[in-house]
Amino acid sequence: MSTYVGVFLALLVGTALTTWVAYIDLGAFNTVVALVIAFIKMTLVILFFMHVKYNKGLTRIVIVAAFFWLGIMMTFMLADELSRNWTPTVSTWNTILPFLR
């Protein structure tokens, strides 16, 4: 009971905090801070409201797998999008794999 209320209050504080921070100029870190807070809030909900703190391994494997796959999707797609305009010069290629001439 008290755990639930504690988590609940933490979530509300997180919401207030994330909104407040948005009005402060942190440059690129605004997004980072917002996402870190969101991540913490998610972890709280999963651990306590969704009882994962008290569940066995299998549940955790499912959760980790889902986020791992989401990570695969994001990483590889971003990898393409961000490096798409790089054209390899022969010299960079030489430094990566020198034996390729």
Contact residues toward another protein (CB under 8 A) are: 1, 4-5, 7-8, 11-12, 15-16, 18-19, 22-26, 30-31, 34-35, 37-38, 41-42, 45-46, 48-50, 55, 58-59, 62-63, 65-67, 69-70, 72-74, 76-90, 93, 97, 100-101
Q: What angle do CA 32, 42, 2 make, to 5 degrees?
A: 130
At 85, phi and psi to the nearest 5? -90, 0
Cα distances (Å, whole numbers) of residue 17 to 38, 44, 51, 88: 10, 16, 25, 44
Per DSSP, 45 falls in state I
Q: How far is the CB of 71 from another protein (least distance, A)?
A: 9
> Burial of 101 by CB count in 10 Å (0-12 exposed, 13-18 middle, 19+ buried)?
exposed
* Residue 22 C-beta: closest distance to another protein, Å: 4
What's the min distance (Å) between Cβ of 7 and another protein? Answer: 8
Q: How far is the CB of 10 from another protein (least distance, A)?
A: 10
